[in-house]
Structure 1
Amino acid sequence: MIRFKRSQRGFTLVELLVVIAIIGVLVGLLLPAVQAAREAARRMQCSNNVKQIGLGLHNYHAAYNKLPMQSGGTHGGPVNNAKILSWLIPVLPFIEQQALYEQIANPLGTYPAMGPVPWDKGYDPWRTTVGSYRCPSDPTVGVPGETGLNNYSACIGDCFQTTHTGGVNADGTVGDQGAKQRLRGVFETRYFTGFRDILDGTSNTIMAGEIVTDAGRLEIIGQPKMNQRDPFFDNPQQCYVDNVDPQRPQFYKDASDTGAGDQRRGKRWADGRPMFTSVNTVRPPNKESCLWGGDGSDGSYTMASRHQGGCHVLFADGAVKFVTESIESGNQTKGNIPRTGSVPGQESPYGLWGALGTKDGNETKQLDQ
């Protein structure tokens, strides 16, 4: 009996190429979805960080009947911090960072309680990056030995003149009586505030918002332009006109007046000056920022993020909302309020965005969600 051996037929070259092509198409379709899912997860974690900070602020207020001071600390003695410590430091015990706060609040090595100036790299707490103060969507990595990074900043209102000191000298004396009426945000530099001061309602008033840690790539959402002087005080949009590349509107034309090292946005979490841990509601989210002088001066400090189209904002009632960069922001060519002689309670010239940044402007405008 003769048996015929059955032949085993394999794939042809054409069939293999077709299968490979189909797999390639599927991978091409799948990767963007995977990346989108990862960003959605990072964005949710970022929102949770903001929420945690909001809860920390509410618990701090419950304990002390006031909010932490922006630009507080010590003055005098051989070593002090020049009274420019950020609001993020006193919040630490209320976001499960008691150990780090204890290091700061007590003498550490040769440093006194509350530490030195926030750019002193010899002080270990200032070199620490707190995970809850970093947005996972921001890929900027800190340099070993440099000061810690930050992505969340306090809202100081809809003005920028004198907001770096609040008109208060480091020794506590008032140097500019007129500065107090310019401080229209939930946080007033070198003053304590509380929820009772938010006359427009906690659900209508921004308490803090996101910033981008500058990566030195001339992005307008990262590093402010320094030494812009009076032109942009009289016309906030002038900073954009003078500095932004019209061919690449997300970048500056050149690197002049953009600082170096840790003189960049979000590079010193412990520094209470606006460059590092403050925002205002003059320019809408993801626009450029401008300083009157150097890294310690007043200016327009814009909220920004690596999320598409806007940023997370913390309201005074603890709610976290995503505000788009297209939010109505009034007259962007109008001079900043103190330049024209502000009247307490006057309406913000910067529309809904400006109104949300003021706590007592008699503007109960709400953000539609």
Structure 2
Amino acid sequence: MNDNLGERIKRTVRRQSSCDEVRNLKSRRKRAGFNLVELMVVLAVVGILVALILPAVQSSRETARRLQCQSHLKQIGLAVHQYEASHRVFPAGWGWNGYLYRLLPYVEAGTTYQLITTAIEADRLDDEAAVLLARRPTIFACPSSSTPRDMKHVSNYAGNVGYGKRHEFDEQGELRNVSYNGIFSSLDRIDWDGPIGGVVTTAMVRDGLSNTAAISEIATEGSSSPYRLTYIIGDHLGMVNQMDRAAEECGSLRPGMEDHGNRGDHWLLGAELSTLYNHVATPNQNSCKLGSCVPCMVSSAASEHSGGVNLTFADGHVVFLTESVDRDVWRAIGTRNGNEVVTMPSF
């Protein structure tokens, strides 16, 4: 009797244990998924993390691109000094073949230089331009530029022609002589058939190589930058003593107004629409052609970096200069012989 009772108790306990296990298993199965509230909380947390991390990742990438851009400018600056060491002058800025063409042998692009030179001598440059422009060295383009990578006829790096200009006209009123006070042009004559004379020597940089801008950035054709355009304002603001008014009027223009086309459109050409800029207006400002006067320009440095532009000085050092730089300081570092006394920005 007692044995039977014991067996019944054991069976009852085993059944109870089995029931508990089934209930626990069902409970675990129920808890294995997310309910709607839990899912929404998880998604919200993930969204917050993405919102926090993504800007940091993008900022890190842009910082890397900006540093690579500075590396390009350092290499170009070194090439300028190698050219100067060989020729005892800085490369000429103006002409059908600008300073970037002259630097090709010094940026490991000697073959491209020979091909272009041969085309020039055989008067075939127009016919072969598309093929030759496509051979643009990588260091002639800024990694931060939104210009499509296959548009290799443009360059983001422009040589400084200074701030002040001197115009001389003949008896018929035709422009014959123009002088700039930057590094890459001191024009003695208007001559588009070959290198223009009056190039700059180291001795002519009386303000000091470390205080004189040499190369900066420009926004180019194909980019999303509003500063890629060159607007048109009247001939009435083409002289040196009118540059303040020209800069102000130029700065008031907006996309949709009359323009003269894009900048940086031909990296072989030496002109302010292509591979040259000036210090009339501070960085990341509009550029303008002053009526029919080709050398009369507000040709601003501009980039797609946030808040400023990279700038190579004539001694080869590179800085990132903010777009809020004082205009007088910007103009002072743009001249090679202005004898200005300025407080340099904290680079």
Normalised TM-score (structure 2) = 0.79
**Alignment check: 8 A CA contact 1:104 1:115 kept:** no
**Alignment check: 8 A CA contact 2:237 2:290 kept:** no
Q: What's the counterpart of residue 236 of structure 2?
A: 230
SS at match of 2:260: coil
SS at match of 1:15: helix
The CA distance in 1 between the partners of 2:224 and 2:156, in whole Å, is: 17
Question: For the structure 1 residues 160 and 277, does the alpha-carbon distance in structure 2 shift closer, same or farther, using more than 3 Å as the test?
Answer: farther
Q: Is 2:28 the counterpart of 1:16?
A: no
**Alignment check: 8 A CA contact 1:232 1:238 kept:** no
Encode CA deviations 1:308-332: one digit per residue, 9 max, x unaligned: 1110111011010111111111xxx
Question: 1:161 Cα shift?
Answer: 5.6
Letter in 2 for 1:84: W
Q: What's the counterpart of residue 79 of structure 2?
A: 56
Question: 1:135 Cα shift?
Answer: 0.8
Letter in 2 for 1:150: S
SS at match of 1:362: coil
Q: Is 2:344 the counterpart of 1:361?
A: no
SS at match of 1:274: coil
Among candidates 251, 254, 275, match of residue 252 of structure 1: 254
The CA distance in 2 between the partners of 1:42 and 1:237, in whole Å, is: 34
Q: What's the counterpart of residue 283 of structure 1?
A: 281
Question: 1:237 Cα shift?
Answer: 4.8
Question: For the structure 1 residues 297 and 194, does the alpha-carbon distance in structure 2 shift closer, same or farther, using more than 3 Å as the test?
Answer: closer
**Alignment check: 8 A CA contact 2:218 2:301 kept:** yes
Question: For the structure 1 residues 297 and 359, does the alpha-carbon distance in structure 2 shift closer, same or farther, using more than 3 Å as the test?
Answer: closer
Q: What's the counterpart of residue 184 of structure 2?
A: 187
Q: What's the counterpart of residue 76 of structure 1?
A: none
Q: Is 2:138 the counterpart of 1:137?
A: no
Q: What's the counterpart of residue 346 of structure 1?
A: none
Q: What's the counterpart of residue 155 of structure 2?
A: 150
**Alignment check: 8 A CA contact 1:286 1:325 kept:** yes
Higher helix share: 2
Among candidates 316, 321, 324, match of residue 323 of structure 1: 321
Q: Which structure has the larger Rg?
A: 2
Question: For the structure 1 residues 204 and 125, does the alpha-carbon distance in structure 2 shift closer, same or farther, using more than 3 Å as the test?
Answer: same
The CA distance in 1 between the partners of 2:338 and 2:249, in whole Å, is: 31
Question: For the structure 1 residues 362 and 113, does the alpha-carbon distance in structure 2 shift closer, same or farther, using more than 3 Å as the test?
Answer: farther
Aligned residues: 308
SS at match of 1:276: coil
SS at match of 1:175: strand
Question: 1:232 Cα shift?
Answer: 5.9
Superposed counterparts of 1:209-224, under 5 Å: 209-215=216-222, 219=226, 221-224=227-230
SS at match of 1:291: strand
Question: For the structure 1 residues 268 and 353, does the alpha-carbon distance in structure 2 shift closer, same or farther, using more than 3 Å as the test?
Answer: same
Question: For the structure 1 residues 186 and 242, does the alpha-carbon distance in structure 2 shift closer, same or farther, using more than 3 Å as the test?
Answer: closer
The CA distance in 1 between the partners of 2:318 and 2:230, in whole Å, is: 25
**Alignment check: 8 A CA contact 1:201 1:364 kept:** no
Question: For the structure 1 residues 38 and 306, does the alpha-carbon distance in structure 2 shift closer, same or farther, using more than 3 Å as the test?
Answer: same
SS at match of 1:226: strand
Normalised TM-score (structure 1) = 0.75
Point out where structure 1 has 5 or more consecutive residues left out of the alignment: 72-82, 169-173, 246-250, 330-350
Question: For the structure 1 residues 103 and 114, does the alpha-carbon distance in structure 2 shift closer, same or farther, using more than 3 Å as the test?
Answer: farther
**Alignment check: 8 A CA contact 1:312 1:320 kept:** yes
The CA distance in 1 between the partners of 2:153 and 2:149, in whole Å, is: 7
Q: What's the counterpart of residue 308 of structure 2?
A: 310
